[in-house]
Amino acid sequence: SRRCGWFDAALLKRSAQVNGLSGLCITKLDVLDGLTELLLCTGYELDGEKIDLLPMGAEDIARCTPIYETLPGWTETTVGVTEYAKLPEAARRYLERIAEVTGVPVDVISTSPDRDHTIMMRHPYVAD
């Protein structure tokens, strides 16, 4: 019931560029528990050329093929984890790679449907 697709970091990179994002809230980390590998879209192939941002035009987008990077998954549970250091190492690497590809830091991580199961890396409403 809490299914999701592979993370499209290249799309989010375009969204961050257009909208001026300062931080990410990653939800549903727990639905990835038990997967042996994860795919992360880091770019696209468009007419034989590799690009790292989703194009602006609908016609170009329709011709794009996603380029996926394979990352190791984890067997440990993340459900209810409220401290970043207690996440499985592979989960931390996955989150760090998302931040690296998008250029936007991960500020909040949700580890279950429960509101209390949240990791606050940086409060989104407090200025640095």
Percent of the chain with pLDDT over 70: 95
Contact criterion met (CB below 8 Å) for 126 and 104: no
Tokens of 24: 């990410």
Is pTM, for the whole model, over 0.85? yes
Domain range 7-120, CATH class:
alpha beta
| Alpha helical stretches, state H, 1-127 | 9-19, 58-62, 89-102
| pLDDT tens figures, 46-62 | 999 999 988 989 999 99
| pLDDT tens figures, 4-53 | 679 999 999 999 989 998 899 999 999 999 999 999 999 999 999 999 98
Half-sphere exposure at residue 100, Cβ-oriented, CA atoms within 13 angstroms = 10
Over residues 96-121, mean pLDDT: 95
Domain ranges across the chain: 7-120
Residue 87 has pLDDT above 60, yes or no: yes
- The pLDDT value recorded for residue 56 is 87
- The pLDDT value recorded for residue 120 is 94
Residue 1 has pLDDT above 60, yes or no: no
Residue 2 has pLDDT above 70, yes or no: no
Provide φ and ψ at 118, rounded to 5°. -135, 140
Tokens of 78: 């993340």
